[in-house]
Chain A
Amino acid sequence: MTEHKHIYQAMFLLDNEEVRKGFNAAKDWIQSSLEKHGLEVKVLRLWGERQLAYPIGGRKRATYLLGWLEGSGDMVNEVKRELYLIGPAFRCLFLQEDEIPEEELVHGIQKMEDSELIIPEEIQEPDFEEPYEEPEEEQAATDEPKEEKSEKSEKTEEVKTDG
Chain B
Amino acid sequence: MASKKNRTFDYKDVEDLQVYMTAQGKIHPATRTGLSGREQRRLKRAIKYARLMSLISYVS
Interface residues of A (CB under 8 A from B): 11, 13, 47, 52-54, 56, 62, 64, 66, 91, 93, 95
Contact = CB atoms under 8 A, between A and B. Distances in A.
B52 A53 contact: no
25 contacts: A11-B12, A11-B53, A13-B53, A13-B54, A47-B12, A52-B54, A53-B51, A53-B54, A53-B55, A53-B56, A53-B57, A54-B54, A54-B57, A54-B58, A56-B54, A62-B54, A64-B53, A66-B12, A91-B52, A91-B53, A91-B54, A93-B49, A93-B52, A93-B53, A95-B49
A64 B11 CA distance: 13
**Closest A-B pairs by Cβ, 3 of them:** A53-B57, A52-B54, A53-B54
Nearest to B25: A53
Interface in B14-60: 49, 51-58
Contacts of B49: 93, 95
Main secondary structure of the interface of B (DSSP, over half): loop
Contacts of B12: 11, 47, 66
Contacts of A11: 12, 53
A112 to B, nearest CB: 20
Contacts of B56: 53
Contacts of A95: 49
A95 B52 CA distance: 13
Contacts of A93: 49, 52-53
Contacts of B55: 53
Given A53-B51, A53-B56, A53-B57, 17 more contacts: A11-B12, A13-B53, A13-B54, A47-B12, A52-B54, A53-B54, A53-B55, A54-B54, A54-B57, A54-B58, A62-B54, A64-B53, A66-B12, A91-B53, A91-B54, A93-B49, A93-B53
A59 B55 CA distance: 14
A140 B22 CA distance: 49
A54 B53 CA distance: 10
A149 to B, nearest CB: 49
Contacts of A62: 54
Nearest to B50: A53
